[in-house]
Amino acid sequence: MKSNKVLIVDDNELILSLLGNLINQQWTHKTAKNGIEAVELTRDEKFDLILINLQLPILDGIAAFRKISQNNPEHCPIIAISDPSNIIDKDSLLSIGFAAVLVKPIKPNEFMELLSCYLGSTNENSGVQGVGNFAEVIIDKKVIDQLMKYNSAEKINAFMVEFLVEVNQLMNTIHDAFAKRDYNQLCENLHILKGVTGTMGANLIFLSSQKAEYLTFNNRWDDLGNELDKMTKEKIELEAFINSDKIFRK
């Protein structure tokens, strides 16, 4: 059953890839990287469900939602993807007209269950069985188990390669911004790192990025430097764990 079509609107390539691959197990999808692209796509094509990240470049998620609603009064359900620190609460988003609110970090199993409410039931057969011994401190076993329910080991390996590349790029940018005391660049990239690592279940770096974001907001530069050094060590541990292929060992 792949007749239903979903539009994912997010400016993060890894999130687009991860959610798109999950969706493709049952349905089809297209992507947009900002609100303007989303509005233009919905003018030309009909979608059965739209997922919009609220924090988008050029045109944010709420503004895009309003334009889509104006252009298509009988538009399909639109789900907001929100960061837990977003100042707009869930009730406010629902009152605006969003069908539901998906709060990051996104858990694959919950994501598929939510989509099935709007697009039909999902296939319960899993391509890869559960993980055996697992270093849950480094990566959340439940997240990988959920990914395995809808993906092969090869696809998850590909996700992990993309994931490590993005984490490295983000952390290089974060360290450079810290050296320059670039507050805005730090906040932006720590926020992205927190979302990506949370979605992929990389517990240690997720918690460190969350703490580093807090330290940045409060201009605690000495403490932030220590936290970033700790995060670098955690990244090395994560890389070693993923490259050792322990994720798929029983």
The pLDDT-based confidence of 112 (bands split at 50, 70, 90) is confident
Residue 5 CB neighbour total at 10 angstroms: 18
The overall pTM is greater than 0.85: no
pLDDT in tens, 201-223: 888 898 888 889 888 988 889 98
Cβ atoms of 69 and 75 within 8 Å: the answer is: yes
How is residue 220 annotated by DSSP?
Answer: -
Alpha helices in 107-182 (DSSP H): 108-119, 141-150, 153-180
The pLDDT-based confidence of 14 (bands split at 50, 70, 90) is confident
Q: What residue ranges define each of the domains in the chain, with the CATH number in brackets?
A: 5-124 (3.40.50.2300), 153-248 (1.20.120.160)
Distance from CA of residue 110 to its chain's centroid? 13
Cβ atoms of 41 and 66 within 8 Å: the answer is: no
The pLDDT-based confidence of 92 (bands split at 50, 70, 90) is confident
pLDDT reported for residue 68:
92
pLDDT reported for residue 23:
92
pLDDT reported for residue 3:
73
Residue 28 clears pLDDT 70, i.e. is over it: yes
- Whether residue 84 is preceded by a cis peptide bond, meaning omega within 30 degrees of 0, is no
pLDDT in tens, 33-90: 999 999 999 998 989 999 999 999 899 999 999 999 888 766 788 999 988 777 677 8
Ordered DSSP codes for 92-115: HHHHHT-SEEEESSPPHHHHHHHH
Interval 175-199 mean pLDDT: 92
Q: Which residues pair with 78 in a beta bridge?
A: 50
The pLDDT-based confidence of 121 (bands split at 50, 70, 90) is low
Residue 200 clears pLDDT 90, i.e. is over it: no
One-letter identity of residue 74: E
pLDDT in tens, 130-181: 333 334 467 777 777 777 777 777 888 888 888 999 999 999 999 999 999 9
Q: Which residues pair with 52 in a beta bridge?
A: 9, 80
Instruction: Give the tokens for residue 49.
Output: 């469900």
Question: Distance between CA atoms of 148 and 63, rounded to whole angstroms?
Answer: 35
pLDDT reported for residue 44:
86
pLDDT reported for residue 118:
81
The pLDDT-based confidence of 32 (bands split at 50, 70, 90) is very high
pLDDT reported for residue 144:
75
The helix, strand and coil proportions of the chain, stated in percent and rounded to the nearest 5, come to 60, 10, 30
pLDDT reported for residue 138:
73
Residues 6+ apart with CB under 8 A from 243: none
pLDDT above 90 covers what percent of the chain?
35
Question: Distance between CA atoms of 224 and 202, rounded to whole angstroms?
Answer: 20
The pLDDT-based confidence of 1 (bands split at 50, 70, 90) is very low
